[in-house]
Amino acid sequence: MSKEVICFILNGQKMEIEVEPSLLLIDMLRNRLGLTGTKMGCGEGECGACTVLLDGKTVNSCLILARQVEGHEVLTVEGLGTYDKLHPLQDAFIAEGAVQCGFCTPGMLLSAKSLLDENPQPTRNQIAKHISGNLCRCTGYVKIINAIEKVAKSD
């Protein structure tokens, strides 16, 4: 298998990395780039724990070849906020009690961000639909939807 260097934007920064064709996006992020915020829950696109933003849209990174992001923009949870400056969604998740085990949280946050970027004033049902590809087993989704709604209303 021949490796190729790909160039893309990762969390706002230019990134160049050599990848083999079969490398999955999630594995490139987690294993090659040390960005373990994106989680593997099922490997089949059924849980959304691996959600990242590709050109602003949510995708399951377990079903994308790393090679495919050449020339595109990728946003992971690491690109959302920092200890010193949490993204409003991150702060709202904490404040509203939307974080229990935390495994679905990175994917949820990115789904939430892509929703609010596209639709700043979603209804609760629209929020639920937008995170319907992110499974959570702990929270029952209520406080996650509350947190997203809170950020939407504060803008």
Partner 1 sequence: MEFTYYHPKNIQSLVTTLSGLQNYALLAGGTDLLVKMKEKLLQPMPQAVVDINEIGKLQEITESEGYLWIGPAVSHTALTKSVLVNEKAVVLAEAAGQIGSPQIRNKGTVGGNICNASPAADTVPALLALDAMVEISDQSGRRHVALSEVFKGPGRTCLLPGQFISQIRLRTIQHNEGAAFLKFGKRKALAIAMINAAVWLKIANGIIDDVRIAFGSVAPTPIRLYELETWLIGKSANHGVFAQAGVKASQMIKPIDDIRCTADYRKRLAQIIIFRSLVTALGRAQGRCGCE
Partner 2 sequence: MSDYRVVGQSVRKLDAVDKVLGKAQFAADIHFDGMLYAKVFRSQVPHGILLSIDVSKAKALAGVVIVLTGKDVPGSNSAGIIVKDEPVLVKINEKIRKIGDPLALIAAETEALAEKALELIEVDIEVLPAVFDPIAAMTDSAPRIYADGNVLAVRKLRKGNIQEVFTDCAVIVENEYRTQMVEHAYIEPEAGVARLEGDVVTMWVATQNTHFDAKEVARNLKIGLDKVRVIQATTGGAFGGKLDVSVQIHLGLLALRTRRPVKLVYSRSESIINSSKRHPCIIKMKTGADKAGKLLAMECTIIGDTGAYASYGPGTITRTAVHATGPYEIPHVAIDAYTVYTNNPTAGAMRGFGVPQVAFAHESQMDILAEKLGISPLQIRLLNAFRPGSVTATGAELTQSVGIVPTLEKTKAAAATLIDSQCSVMNGAKRRGIGTASMWYGIGNTGLPNPAGAYVNLLDDGTALVLTGCADIGQGSSTTLAQIVAEEFGIDMEDVRVVSADTGVTPDGGATSASRQTYISGNAVRLAAQEAKKVLIETAAAMLVVTPDEIAVGNKMLSVKQTAEQSQYLTDCQGECRLDLGLSPKGRGLSVRLVDCIAQCRSTGKLTIGHGWFNPDTTGLDPETGQGKPYATYAFATQIAEVEVDTESGEIEVIRIVAAHDVGKAINPVNIEGQIEGGCTMGLGYALTEQIQVREGKILTKNLATYLIPTALDIPEVYPLIVEEPEQTGPFGAKGVGEPSLIPTAAAIANAIYNAIGIRFTELPITPERVLTKLQEIQNANV
Asked if residue 30 binds partner 1 (CB under 8 A), the reply is no
**Which partner from the list partner 2, partner 1, none does 26 bind, CB cut-off 5 to 8 Å by kind?**
none
Using DSSP's 3-state secondary structure scheme, residue 148 falls into helix
**Which partner from the list partner 2, partner 1, none does 57 bind, CB cut-off 5 to 8 Å by kind?**
partner 1
Q: Quick one: 54 or 112, whose CB is closer to partner 2?
A: 112
Asked if residue 59 binds partner 1 (CB under 8 A), the reply is yes
AA letter at 2 = S
CB of 3 to partner 1, least distance (A): 10
CB of 58 to partner 2, least distance (A): 13
**Per DSSP, what are the bridge partners of residue 8?**
15
Asked if residue 41 binds partner 1 (CB under 8 A), the reply is no
DSSP result, 54-121? ETTEEEEGGGSBGGGGTTSEEE-GGGT--SSS--HHHHHHHHTT--SS-SSHHHHHHHHHHHHHH-SS
Q: How far apart are CA 104 and CA 69, in angstroms?
A: 23
Fill in the per-residue mask, 82 to 121: x = in contact with partner 1 (CB under 8 A), - = not in contact. Answer: -----------------------------x----------
* H or E element at residue 16: strand 13-19
